[in-house]
Amino acid sequence: MRTIVYADGGCDPNPGPGGWGVVIEAEAGRIELCGGDRATTNNRMELTAAINALRHFPEGAQIEMRCDSQYVIKSVTEWMRGWKAKGWRTATGPVKNVELMQELDALAARRDVRWTWVRGHTGEVGNERADRLAAQGRREALGLPPRPEGGPAPLTGTAALRAAVAPAALATAPAVVERAPPRTTSIPLDLGLGLEVSRAANGAGLTPQAYVERAVRLALDLGPEAFERMRAEAGGAAAPKATEANPAP
């Protein structure tokens, strides 16, 4: 019987401080692991989560690894064989994060692993919990206390709607609830700063609103003192804007 494992990782912003989380549905009970890095990328944290999950098991263990990262799943199931045949190179150059890829490959080769992609943030409890653990690992890497646990991991999207509204109500008016506009507030920006935000958001593959929201959340997570300290360490310069693209096989 395979042990179900959820692995997740991420950064905010990307590149930037990140974390990884693992949930192992063991026979004796749930096992949770997490960690983080002050300077990393989404892809590195996704790989690190899978690596730490496999490290937990002895050789020969039967595992079903569930990840919401297609980067991880496709790397292992589709791309690695070609990379190794070419000396760990892609059609455009060296494989990114090659040391993590090689460790993941070696760990998986000594275990019986079934790799399963799951869609993130759709209410699957193990995946949602792994996401929360990754956020906790990121906070720990920044030297911040963990957020208080308010019960089970929150559901999102349609899953949250179905959990919160009675089936009869869903049958009569689901569209009204799902189309309710988000509550927002307007914050004016200097024209020059607005242009900088637009360029940075475009480089990160985000909308300006999403980019600003991430920046504000990071500042709130850090707090005034840690935020100013990080700005001073960076010389007041903005963090790198580029995101790490998924490699081609």
Please name which of 116, 85, 172, 171 lies closest in space to residue 2, comparing C-alpha atoms.
116
Last residue of a domain, one of 141, 162, 189: 141
Rounded to 10°, the helix 42-55/98-109 angle is 30
pLDDT band with cut points at 50, 70 and 90 for residue 107: very high
Decide if pLDDT at 170 tops 50.
no
Residues 118 and 186 in one domain: no
**Same domain as 200, residue 83:** no
Is 221 noted as a catalytic residue in this protein? Answer: no
Asked if 121 is an active-site residue, the reply is yes
Q: Tell me which of 120, 121, 140, 221 is the catalytic residue.
A: 121
CB 239 within 8 A of CB 162: no
Q: How many domains does the chain have?
A: 2
Catalytic entry in 37, 124, 128, 131: 131
Residue 112 appears among annotated catalytic residues: no
- Annotated catalytic residue within 16, 19, 46, 126: 46
* pLDDT tens-digit readout, 50-75: 999 999 999 999 999 999 999 999 99
16-26 and 3-11 strand pairing: antiparallel
pLDDT of residue 226: 77
Residue 90 CA to residue 202 CA, distance in Å, equals 26
Same domain, 13 and 81: yes
Q: What is the mean pLDDT of residues 94-100?
A: 97
| CATH number of the domain within which 115 lies | 3.30.420.10
8 is catalytic: yes
Classify residue 189 as exposed, middle or buried by CB count within 10 Å of its CB (0-12, 13-18, 19+).
middle
69 within some domain: yes
Range of the domain at 228: 178-233
* Segment (H or E) for 74: helix 70-74
Asked whether the whole model's pTM tops 0.85, one would answer: no
Residues 7 and 124 in one domain: yes
Q: Are residues 128 and 208 in the same domain?
A: no
